[in-house]
A and B are shown apart, each in its own frame.
Chain A
Amino acid sequence: MKKNVSNLNPLTKKNLITLLMCVVIFAIVQIWQASGSMGSLYQGLLVPICIYIIMAVSLNLVVGYLGELSLGHAGFMCVGAYVSSMFSIMTQNTIGNSLLRFAIAILIGGICAAIFGIIVGIPVLRLRGDYLAIVTLAFGEIIKNIVNVLYVGVDNNGVQIAIENSANINLDYANGGKMILNGPQGITGTPRDSTFVIGFILVMITLIVIMNFVNSRTGRAITAIRDNRIAAASVGINVTKYKLIAFALAAFFAGVAGALYSHNTASLSATTKNFGYMMSIMVLVYVVLGGMASIRGSVIATIILYALPEVLRQFNDNINNYRMLIYAIILIVMMIINNNDTIKDKLNIFKSKFKRKKVPKETKGAEV
Chain B
Amino acid sequence: MALLEVKNLGISFGGLRAVDGLNLRIEKGTLYGLIGPNGAGKTTVFNLLTGVYKPTIGTFALDGEVLNGKSQAQINHKGIARTFQNIRLFSKMSVLDNVKVGLHNNNKYSSFAGVFRLPSYFKQEKAMNKEAMDILKVFDLDKEASVTAENLPYGKQRKLEIARALATHPKLLLLDEPAAGMNPNETEELMKTIRFVRDEFDMTILLIEHDMRLVSGICEQLTVLNFGMELAKGETSEVLNNPEVITAYLGE
Residues 106 to 132 of chain B near chain A (Cβ within 8 Å): 107-109, 111, 113-117, 121-126, 128-129
* A276-310 residues at the B interface, CB under 8 angstroms: 293
Residues in B with CB closer than 8 Å to A233 are 51, 71-73, 76
A236 to chain B, nearest CB (A): 4
Does residue B213 face the partner (Cβ distance < 8 Å to A)? no
Assess whether B164 is interfacial by the CB under 8 Å rule.
Answer: yes
Complex contact A220–B97 (CB within 8 A): yes
In whole angstroms, how far apart are the Cα atoms of A245 and B112 in the complex?
A: 11
* Contact of A227 with B90 at beta-carbon distance under 8 Å, contacts A213-B111, A216-B114 already known: yes
Q: Contact: B84 with A361, CB < 8 Å?
A: no
B93: A residues at CB distance < 8 A: 220, 223-224, 227, 365-366
Q: Which of B144-152, B197-205, B215-223, B227-235 contacts A (4 or more CB under 8 A)?
A: B144-152
In contact, B90 and A228 (Cβ under 8 angstroms): yes
Residues A227 and B91 in contact, CB atoms below 8 Å apart:
yes
Binds B, one of A4-12, A129-137, A178-186: A4-12
A226 to B145, CA, bound (A): 20
Q: Given the complex, which residues of A lie within 8 Å of B128, measured CB to CB?
A: 217
Please judge, given known A-B contacts A217-B104, A363-B148, A364-B148, whether A237 and B89 are in contact too, CB under 8 Å: no
Once the chains bind, are A8 and B92 in contact (CB under 8 Å)? no
Enumerate chain B residues within 8 angstroms of A365, measured Cβ to Cβ.
92-93, 148
Q: How large is the interface on A (under 10, 10 to 19, 20 to 34, 35 or more residues)?
A: 35 or more
Contacting residues, chain B, for A293 (C-beta < 8 A): 92
Cβ contact of A361, chosen from B71, B96, B121, B151, cutoff 8 A:
B151
B72 touches A220 (CB 8 A): no
Say whether A218 contacts B111, CB under 8 Å: yes
> Once bound together, how far apart are the Cα atoms of A234 and B91, in whole Å?
15
In the assembled complex, the Cα of A161 lies from the Cα of B43 at a distance in Å of: 58
Could you tell me the distance between the alpha carbons of A361 and B84 in the complex, rounded to whole angstroms? 24
Q: Are A216 and B121 in touch, CB under 8 angstroms?
A: yes
How distant is A346 from chain B, measured CB to nearest CB, in Å?
22
Q: Offer 30 A-B interface pairs, CB within 8 angstroms, sorted by A.
A: A1-B123, A2-B122, A5-B122, A8-B96, A8-B129, A213-B115, A216-B111, A217-B104, A217-B108, A219-B114, A220-B93, A220-B100, A220-B104, A223-B90, A224-B93, A227-B89, A230-B88, A231-B88, A233-B51, A234-B72, A235-B76, A235-B101, A235-B104, A236-B76, A238-B71, A361-B148, A363-B146, A363-B148, A365-B93, A366-B94
Interface residues of B (CB under 8 A from A): 50-52, 71-73, 76-77, 81-82, 84, 88-94, 96-97, 100-102, 104-105, 107-109, 111, 113-117, 121-126, 128-129, 145-148, 151, 164-165, 167-168
Which A positions have Cβ atoms within 8 angstroms of B?
Answer: 1-2, 4-5, 8, 10, 209, 212-213, 215-221, 223-224, 226-228, 230-239, 245, 293, 361-366
